[in-house]
Amino acid sequence: MWIWFEMAAPSFAAWNAAPALADRLRSGYGGIHVWSFVTTAAGQSISVLCTVVHRAGLTDTDQQEQIRQAGIEFNEILRRISIQPR
């Protein structure tokens, strides 16, 4: 069983980035979605972090499609994880 957490932000707060990078983040990207998946197996803790960074100017529909596509990829990544006992 995996426990997961989802977080989203509509924009980037680049308060500690270099000015050029902060400007690029604010103008080039329109938000971020982050998922953290955690499980245990064979006495080990496994943590997987997945992110989708949205380009600036995407519609809500386009963002949802980007998330849907990423979900397909994330699912494949999670299915391929195998934990071997030490």
Would you say residue 46 lies in a domain? yes
Q: What is the mean pLDDT of residues 47-68?
A: 90
CB 47 within 8 A of CB 3: no
pTM as predicted? 0.71
- Tell me if 86 is assigned to some domain: no
Tell me the helices (H) and strands (E) count for the chain, helix number first: 2, 3
Three-class DSSP category at 78: helix
In a domain, 50, yes or no: yes
13-44 per-position pLDDT tens digit: 777 888 888 888 888 888 889 999 898 887 88
Residue 73 lies in a domain: yes
How many other C-beta atoms can be found within 10 angstroms of the C-beta atom of residue 49? 10
**Domain assignment of residue 9, yes or no:** yes
Q: Does residue 85 form part of some domain?
A: no
52 domain-assigned: yes
Structural domain span for residue 10: 3-80
The count of domains in the chain is 1
What is the C-alpha to C-alpha distance for residues 35 and 71, in angstroms, rounded to an integer?
10
